[in-house]
Amino acid sequence: MSKPLEMTERTRIRRKANRGTYDRDVVHDILDDAYVCHVGFVANGTPVVIPTAYVRDGDELYLHGSNSNHMLRALADGGDASVAVTLIDGLVLARTAFHHSVNYRSVVMFGRGRRVDALDEKQRVLTLLLERMVVGRSRACRLPNEHELLSTLVIGFPIVEASAKIRSGPPLPEEGDDAQLPYWAGVIPLLTTRGAPVEAS
Amino acid sequence: MSKPLEMTERTRIRRKANRGTYDRDVVHDILDDAYVCHVGFVANGTPVVIPTAYVRDGDELYLHGSNSNHMLRALADGGDASVAVTLIDGLVLARTAFHHSVNYRSVVMFGRGRRVDALDEKQRVLTLLLERMVVGRSRACRLPNEHELLSTLVIGFPIVEASAKIRSGPPLPEEGDDAQLPYWAGVIPLLTTRGAPVEAS
């Protein structure tokens, strides 16, 4: 079992603490199950949220894009950031409107990115991204050449000040008269699957 | 055809402008296709990103939660925020690593929330949220009573300073020798579907 993440004031679970965890393996599993994160940073004094692809490796989340990418540059410049990843697993229907909910798994992180400059580390990160799409893909395409590596900005973001929050299972039981309401209650699962590949002409 | 959204410095599409649009109907369609948004705000001087459910009505996005919800309170207090919604439609595999991509539809918004206090407006918003889960659901459960409405914080967020970005279709064509590489290229669709409902015992 790996060492749990340390709670900080920023990652303290404020609401529904029973749904929260600092378990490193749980955090990593959620991160390994999604493709896109949302990065929050401050530009010209106002918050900005931008979605972007990522891959996890160990205790680091890697983002990448063009050298001129506004969000990546803000991170490369050492700006404070928050990164969230969310998976929606189901719609929770209860007998009362008040107990309707969503089943989800989410991770929220805080920290500062570091710019990855070493070409071999960049290559490794981009290889991991390919493997995350399809296992073996990094051996089934032409890998980046030096020019392409130099034109790609890669940012490592620490998975250190992080927490996960999970809601799963049926709606909360209703109390009193509400328990006798004649309405259906349960969960409608939301499933993400891969469809048949569409070959480019 | 509805009036397009006005571009501002914050919503100016900086990268891959051909993927961006200020078309109000396109923005609304993306918002109507997802369940969860990511809200970015500033707390104690640092950015925070939090996922939350929402529903759109007209030119407003509605968030809700407990009166003690940290993120909603930051919005109720008039803090600047950015809200993003992202749908992932497919993994784009090219003959070169460099041209791999993701098909997506996203909306990024900027603005300030307004606290919804009128109980009838709160009721309307919560009804819309139920209908977004399952059509007819607001007539198939007990609607919130006054106590529940008073313990729910509802925030309206303007869909005004907003833009959409969409990538769809096959990978970019490769150039020169890369076009002859003997690798598969195309799209693996990612599909979100509803599974069979699971009744609560």
Q: How far apart are CA A52 and CA A34, in angstroms?
A: 11
Q: What is the least distance, in Å, from the CA of A192 to any CA of chain B?
A: 4
pLDDT of residue A82 exceeding 80, the answer is yes
Q: Which of B167, B38, B37 is nearest to B102 (CA)?
A: B167
Among the partner residues B47, B94, B144, nearest to A81 by beta-carbon distance: B47
Q: What is the least distance, in Å, from the CA of A163 to any CA of chain B?
A: 12
pLDDT score for B18? 84
- Whether residues B40 and A48 touch (CB distance < 8 A) is answered with yes
Q: What is the least distance, in Å, from the CA of A127 to any CA of chain B?
A: 8
A106 neighbors B36 (Cβ within 8 angstroms): no
The predicted complex's ipTM stands at 0.96
Q: Which of B52, B37, B24 is nearest to B83 (CA)?
A: B37
Token digits of residue A32:
């390994």
Task: Give per-residue pLDDT as tens, A117-162.
Answer: 999 999 999 999 999 999 999 999 999 999 999 999 999 999 999 9
Q: Quick one: closest CA in A to B13, which residue? A: A70
Three-class DSSP category at A59: coil
pLDDT of residue B1 exceeding 80, the answer is no
Q: Which of B104, B84, B105, B102 is nearest to B37 (CA)?
A: B84
What is the amino acid identity at position B109? M
Write out chain B residues lying below 8 Å of A50, CB-based: 84, 108
Q: What is the least distance, in Å, from the CA of A37 to any CA of chain B?
A: 9
Token digits of residue B13:
């599409």
B162 neighbors B27 (Cβ within 8 angstroms): yes
- Whether residues B200 and A190 touch (CB distance < 8 A) is answered with no
pLDDT score for B177? 97
Q: How far apart are CA A170 and CA A160, in angstroms?
A: 31
- The mean pLDDT of B10-14, rounded to a whole number, is 86
Share of chain A above pLDDT 70, in %: 100
Spacing of C-alpha A62 from chain mean position: 11
pTM recorded for the entire structure: 0.96
Residue A15 binned pLDDT confidence (cut-offs 50, 70, 90): confident
Token digits of residue A27:
């955090």
What is the amino acid identity at position B92? V
pLDDT of residue A1 exceeding 70, the answer is no
Establish if B35 touches chain A: CB-CB under 8 angstroms.
yes
- Whether residues A188 and B181 touch (CB distance < 8 A) is answered with no
Establish if A200 touches chain B: CB-CB under 8 angstroms.
yes
A108 neighbors B52 (Cβ within 8 angstroms): no
What is the amino acid identity at position A12? R
Listed in sequence order, the DSSP H helices in chain B are 24-31, 70-76, 119-133, 146-150
pLDDT score for B194? 97
Among the partner residues B14, B97, B188, nearest to A126 by beta-carbon distance: B97
Q: Which of A137, A147, A193 is nearest to B185 (CA)?
A: A137
pLDDT score for B14? 80
Among the partner residues A50, A65, A141, nearest to B108 by beta-carbon distance: A50
Q: How far apart are CA B45 and CA A1, in angstroms?
A: 35
CB-CB neighbours of A6 under 10 Å: 10
Q: Tokens 């969310």 appear where?
A: A86
Q: What is the sign of the dihedral through the CA atoms of B45, B47, B53 and B55?
A: positive
**Phi, psi of B106, rounded to the nearest 5 degrees:** -140, 155
- Whether residues A86 and B51 touch (CB distance < 8 A) is answered with yes
**Phi, psi of B157, rounded to the nearest 5 degrees:** -120, 125
Token digits of residue B72:
């909603």
Q: What is the least distance, in Å, from the CA of A114 to any CA of chain B?
A: 17
Task: Give per-residue pLDDT as tens, B106-134.
Answer: 999 999 999 999 999 999 999 999 999 99
Write out chain A residues lying below 8 Å of B84, CB-based: 38, 49-51
Instruction: Please report, for residues A62, A88, A109, the alpha-carbon distance to residue A28 in angstroms, rounded to integers and kept in the order given.
Output: 13, 16, 12
Q: What is the sign of the dihedral through the CA atoms of A108, A114, A120 and A126?
A: positive
Q: How far apart are CA A63 and CA A128, in angstroms?
A: 11
Angle in degrees, CA B85, A59, A64, rounded to 5:
50
pLDDT of residue A201 exceeding 90, the answer is no
Q: How far apart are CA B72 and CA B151, in angstroms?
A: 13
Task: Give per-residue pLDDT as tens, A88-120.
Answer: 999 999 999 999 999 999 999 999 999 999 999
B15 neighbors A69 (Cβ within 8 angstroms): yes
What is the amino acid identity at position A51? P
Token digits of residue A125:
């990160």
Establish if B139 touches chain A: CB-CB under 8 angstroms.
no
